[in-house]
Amino acid sequence: MPRDDNGEGSPLIQFKDVTFSYADNEETRAPALSGCSFSIFPGEFVALVGHNSSGKSTLAKLSNGLIRPNFGEVISVDRSTADEKVLVDIRKNIGLVFQNPDNQAVATIVEDDVAFGPENLNLPQPEIRERVDQALEAVDMTNRNTSILANLSGGQKQLVAIAGVLALRPRMIILDEATSLLDPKGRKKVLKQIINLNQRGIGIVMITHRMEEVLLADRVIALEKGSVIFDGTPDDLFVDRELLVRAGLEPPPIIDLVRELNSMNHSVNIPKNPAQLVEEICVLR
């Protein structure tokens, strides 16, 4: 769901000339992020890409105040992450899902794990029950509510982790390589639910190395050595071969097929998935 280009509404996340270094003395180590400025709006689906150590995970942690910039400012949900008093509210609205679902589990039973966040907000028990049920339904895991978490597949565990964030009723979810440890079946299931959540109006920022996942996004932000080197659509990214090489990105095979078809004087758009490309090919004359 793309942002409102009519200027209505404010950004959900704003980076204002943000620099961050993990070193105590910035002169001893290059910063993880350097001079980053951009905005992400409600309902957007943004893919965040780049080399390893380009700053993607650092950006995710800065977005909801897990860490705070050395220089510049991060504004999330109209509040500065520098203000410790508002961090709880920021994290309710900007959820973060990490790569390994096992590292996010806090309970043995699925519904207990999903309930952890709302319980820590001291919500009434009936409201906690309602939020847990709705969150599990949103990721199609209602029938696993009493399952032992350790017995689930990797994909199912990741869906439970997403449900745990959804139970806080966020406006945006940041997924940090959330599909990278999954098998193809688990990855497909998780991506389906991510798309469904975005279609319901929840903003998505998906950090990924998989370029076929980038095709699902409305917008791409590419990082190199801690700096933003691209901010635009997947179509614009994949036609810029020089930029792809610079960012160390390999376009998915479907892009090569589109290029080949267009070199044969066919007008084929870059699809979001193979099924869309098949539909276009079927109507070619």
Residues 104 and 75 in one domain: yes
Residue 4 lies in a domain: no
Q: Give the pLDDT score at 268.
A: 66
Residues 169 and 103 in one domain: yes
pTM: 0.87
Two tokens, residue 114:
């999903």
Residues 70 and 158 in one domain: yes
**Element (H or E) spanning 96, and its range?**
strand 94-97
Which CATH number is 116's domain given? 3.40.50.300
User: pLDDT at residue 18 above 60?
Assistant: yes
Residues 137 and 176 in one domain: yes
Q: Name the percent of the chain lying above pLDDT 90.
A: 69
Q: What is the C-alpha to C-alpha distance for residues 194 and 267, in angstroms, rounded to an integer? A: 30
DSSP assignment letter at 44 = -
Among residues 38, 35, 39, which one has the least CA distance to residue 26?
35
CB 97 within 8 A of CB 175: yes
Residue 3 lies in a domain: no
Q: Which residues pair with 49 in a beta bridge?
A: 222
Among residues 218, 219, 225, which one has the least CA distance to residue 248?
225
Residues 125 and 256 in one domain: no
Residues 98 and 188 in one domain: yes
For residue 263, the enclosing domain spans 252-285
Residue 1 lies in a domain: no
Q: Give the pLDDT score at 24.
A: 61
Tell me the per-residue pLDDT of 125-135, one tens digit each, with 9 for 90 and over. Answer: 999 999 999 99
Two tokens, residue 235:
């179509």
Q: What is the C-alpha to C-alpha distance for residues 209 and 127, in angstroms, rounded to an integer? A: 38
Which are the contacts of 88, defined by CB distance < 8 A and separation ≥ 6? Answer: none
Residues 181 and 246 in one domain: yes
Tell me the per-residue pLDDT of 20-77, one tens digit each, with 9 for 90 and over. Answer: 998 765 555 678 999 999 999 999 999 999 988 899 999 999 999 999 999 999 999 9
Residues 94 and 158 in one domain: yes
Residues 146 and 221 in one domain: yes
Residue 8 lies in a domain: no
Q: What is the C-alpha to C-alpha distance for residues 154 and 257, in angstroms, rounded to an integer? A: 32
Residue 128 lies in a domain: yes
Residues 90 and 205 in one domain: yes
Residues 173 and 276 in one domain: no
Q: Give the pLDDT score at 53.
A: 87
The count of domains in the chain is 2
Residues 90 and 213 in one domain: yes
Residue 6 lies in a domain: no
Q: Which residues of 235-245 are buried (b: 16+ CB within 10 A; e: fewer)?
A: eebbebeebbe
Residue 5 lies in a domain: no
